Structure 1
Amino acid sequence: MSERPNAFVTHTLDRTRSLEGTPLASFSRRAWAWLIDFTIIASVALLWRVWIGDGQGSFSPFSSISGLIFIVAYFGLTTYWGHGQTPGKKLLGIQVISISHEHLSLWHCIERALGYAASMLEAGFGFWQYFIHHNRQTVHDRIAETIVIRKLKTPAPVQTEPAA
């Protein structure tokens, strides 16, 4: 085995080739899915305040460390448990997939959720990079090596006539 120090070796070439031609999700579907998910987060925060919170220093997903942890956990865990689909993505028929592995790991999902913060920097420019990247990847997609695709319905098995 010959060593090639300081030489880049791709480990994802077969995977990326297998994804060639996969239909990507539109920006509007992605935005609506994100909005649905943030509505769920805001609703949970409101219910928390009404039922559990004391009104002073209670849980807020948008202004506290515990809230930020909740947002990352929500996006990370729902993406992982939903096999690439948060509730919003499921409703809109889109799915996150890895461009480097067959399946999303929990770390991919958490890393992608953490990447939302990077996408929000500079007035959300990381989200708008969808329009300039050739594979429609935003900053958080590139951080986690993912793409968002239109979820294709699995075709029904073809019935064949038995040979006579």
Structure 2
Amino acid sequence: MEVIPQNVPSAEQVHLPLTKKECREIVTPYAFMVADDLLGTPLATPWRRAAAMAIDGVIIAGLASASLLFILPVMLYLCWLRYRLKKYTHVVLLLLATLLLSTTATVAPELISEQKDVRTNNLVDDRLDAAGSAALAFSVLKLNRDDCKTDCIAAELKSSSQQLAKAGVPAADARQLLTDLLEVAELSTKAKKALIERELKSYQPIDQVPVAEAVATPDAKVVSTDSAEKPWYQPSEGTQSIIGWVKGILADFGLGFGWAMFYFTAYIHWAHGQTIGKKIFQIRVIQLDGKELDVFAAFSRQGGYGAGFATGLMGFLQVFWDPNRQAIQDKVVSTVVIRLNQPKRPLHH
């Protein structure tokens, strides 16, 4: 009679994959595994993603201005999407929210409209402005062209260096940004390093912004630099409500709280990875494991947009040189943006 050892795992038990909890306890190759069905799927091109983002930006700006022209279509489209999936509880809640928002936008639009927070004591720390960021974006586009050779590369690098110096970016940060810019250029590593060193020899960032250049508004209050800063739990002067106080705290921690957060989280989660802009341009956000984003992943991904702007758009420009065209918000939650209605391509020539 054969004796069967006790507590010996079977062949099936030996090859069982680790659970999500177990994967967080040790280093595994599972966190960034790509689903087999996703391999060979065409990726969305940078211009298509930018165009979709431009449309989404217009929509968010309309929502932030408490315009019914934007609020009603955005909310009703979400209702339609949940109705198609027979999520009737969600439909009822969204209809009630739509009614509340519509009434508020008509009676007291200032309660749901968002206004830009102007801070007179943080002009230097904002670094790159919109013009400087746009100039860097155009430089990446030019560097990515096949006809941009050594002279063209040197000219674009010089232009980018001047923009960074004008924005007061420190030399160490400028070096990293210029190195990232040259990732798309077809030059040897030695040649890239030589160009960067040549630019940094005469690099002189502007450390302070002259007082005369500060934009003054009639309603702006002068902030005294000599006054002691209040603790975070005490509302600043001019804060009229608890909600405004909470928004200020969240802004200090770098957390967005408004229409952009709602729009990107709700649409990426409920609309199968497609905002309205992505729907128009036939692209979609999907996780590397082939699954759709849950609400927490969608919320985390929209937080990546803040990191993209904080890096002077460099976080977004990664789509030009990243192998899977992942921008910073994609790397946060391991997603890619794919092109729909396109045939898959083989992985080998």
Q: Please, what TM-score do these two structures have when normalized by structure 2?
A: 0.38
Aligned partner of residue 292 in structure 2, secondary structure: coil
1:90-142 deviation line (CA, Å, top 9, x unaligned): 01100000013522211111111011111112211000011111000001000
Q: Match for 2:303: what amino acid?
A: L
Q: What's 1:115 paired with?
A: 304
1:60 aligned onto 2:249? no
Candidates 118, 136, 139, aligned match of 2:325: 136
Preserved CA contact (<8 Å) 1:30 1:89? yes
Q: Match for 1:85: what amino acid?
A: Q
Distance 1:61 1:32 in 2: 25
Aligned partner of residue 47 in structure 1, secondary structure: coil
Q: How many residues align?
A: 150
Q: What's 1:94 paired with?
A: 283
Preserved CA contact (<8 Å) 1:12 1:99? no
Q: What's 2:43 paired with?
A: 24
Q: Match for 2:304: what amino acid?
A: G
1:146 aligned onto 2:343? no
Aligned partner of residue 286 in structure 2, secondary structure: strand
Deviates more, 1:125-134 or 1:93-102: 93-102
Cα offset for 1:86? 0.4
Aligned partner of residue 102 in structure 1, secondary structure: coil
Preserved CA contact (<8 Å) 1:76 1:106? yes
Deviates more, 1:128-137 or 1:40-49: 40-49
Distance 1:104 1:21 in 2: 20
Aligned partner of residue 338 in structure 2, secondary structure: strand
Distance 2:286 2:63 in 1: 27
1:44 aligned onto 2:63? yes
Aligned partner of residue 311 in structure 2, secondary structure: helix
Q: What's 2:294 paired with?
A: 105
Unaligned runs of 5+ in 1: 155-164
* CA pair 152-59 structure 1, distance change in 2 beyond 3 A: same
Q: What's 1:162 paired with?
A: none
Distance 2:61 2:306 in 1: 17
Q: Match for 2:37: what amino acid?
A: S
* CA pair 98-39 structure 1, distance change in 2 beyond 3 A: same
Q: Match for 2:333: what amino acid?
A: A
Cα offset for 1:14? 5.7
Distance 2:332 2:32 in 1: 18
Cα offset for 1:47? 3.1
1:69 aligned onto 2:257? yes
Note the aligned Cα RMSD (angstroms): 3.1
Q: Match for 1:40: what amino acid?
A: I
Q: Match for 1:79: what amino acid?
A: I
Aligned partner of residue 53 in structure 2, secondary structure: helix
Distance 2:333 2:325 in 1: 14
Structure 1 runs (4+) deviating above 6 angstroms are none
1:51-110 deviation line (CA, Å, top 9, x unaligned): 4335xx863165483993221121011111110000110011000000135222111111
Q: Please, what TM-score do these two structures have when normalized by structure 1?
A: 0.77
Distance 2:116 2:338 in 1: 28
Aligned partner of residue 39 in structure 2, secondary structure: coil
Choose 1 or 2 for highest CA Rg: 2
Distance 2:329 2:278 in 1: 16
